[in-house]
Every structure is written in structure tokens, then in C-alpha cells.
């Protein structure tokens, strides 16, 4: 079972998820990383679920066109859209607050 470490507001939360898990779907049914993960549309359109990958990026699928459209150069800095990720292996993510939040 993949272990997900999720950092938010200076705290780290850890949980095990089933292989091929989508974290936004889980948060939507109030499972880890609920209530810490911020998200919106769940469809790759709003970028509210943007996270930076701290570890395990090599195990994630290649970014799809929605991520390329929303994130642009930020993809190269390690950012991904959580709603577009299907977790297969251990991963560590941080979600930063938007500027001014
Ligand atoms: S929740 Fe809107 S882009 Fe991921």
C-alpha cells in the first residue's frame, strides 16, 4: 500500500492509501488527506489542488494536458495537480497556501 505524506501549513500528515488512488476523490469522501487538502473542480481546471512533489515524483505518471495547461513552467519546479494524479507508490507532497492567504 502506498504511503502518502502530505504537508500543509507546517504540519505533516501521513496515511496509507490503496494503489491507484486519487487524493481529491478521497478528500471528497472525507478520507485522508481530508480536511487538509484544498481542491476545487476535481477536473484539472481550477488548479486549487496544486501540490509540490517532495519525494516520489519519479513514480507518478507523466503530466497530462490539463496539468500542462494549468501549471506551465511550474511542472518543471515539481508541481502537479493532485486531482490528476493516481497514486501507485509512496509519495510526499506539500500544498502551499496561495499568496496572501
Ligand atoms: S481540483 Fe481543480 S484542478 Fe484539481
Ligand 1 shell residues, CB under 6 Å: 24, 39-42, 44-49, 81, 83
Q: Is residue 100 part of a domain?
A: no
The pLDDT tens digits of the residues spanning 32-76 come to 999 999 999 999 999 999 999 999 999 999 999 999 999 999 999
Assess if residue 101 is contained within a domain.
no
Closest ligand 1 atom number to CA of residue 81: 4
Cis peptide before 33 (omega within 30 of 0): yes
For the CA of 50, the nearest atom of ligand 1? 4
Average pLDDT value for the chain: 95
- Give the atom of ligand 1 at the shortest distance from the alpha carbon of 70: 3
pTM score > 0.85 for this model? yes
Phi-psi region of 58 (alpha: psi -120 to 50; beta: other; left: phi over 0): alpha
How are beta strands 91-95 and 3-8 bridged, if at all?
Answer: parallel
Beta-carbon-side half-sphere exposure of residue 15 (alpha carbons within 13 Å): 19
The range of the structural domain enclosing residue 73 comes to: 3-95
User: What's the sign of the alpha-carbon dihedral 17, 6, 25, 31?
Assistant: positive
For residue 91, the domain's CATH number is 3.10.20.30
Distance CA 9, CA 3 (A): 20
Amino acid at each position: 500500500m502506498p504511503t502518502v505524506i502530505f504537508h500543509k501549513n507546517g504540519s505533516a500528515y501521513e496515511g496509507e492509501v490503496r494503489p491507484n488512488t486519487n487524493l481529491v476523490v478521497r478528500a471528497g469522501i472525507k478520507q485522508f488527506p481530508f480536511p487538509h487538502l484544498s481542491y476545487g473542480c476535481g477536473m484539472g481546471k481550477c488548479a486549487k489542488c496544486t501540490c509540490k512533489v517532495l519525494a516520489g515524483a519519479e513514480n507518478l505518471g507523466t503530466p497530462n494536458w490539463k496539468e500542462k495547461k494549468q501549471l506551465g513552467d511550474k511542472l518543471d519546479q515539481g508541481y502537479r495537480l493532485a486531482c490528476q494524479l493516481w497514486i501507485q507508490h509512496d509519495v510526499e507532497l506539500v500544498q502551499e497556501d496561495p499568496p496572501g492567504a
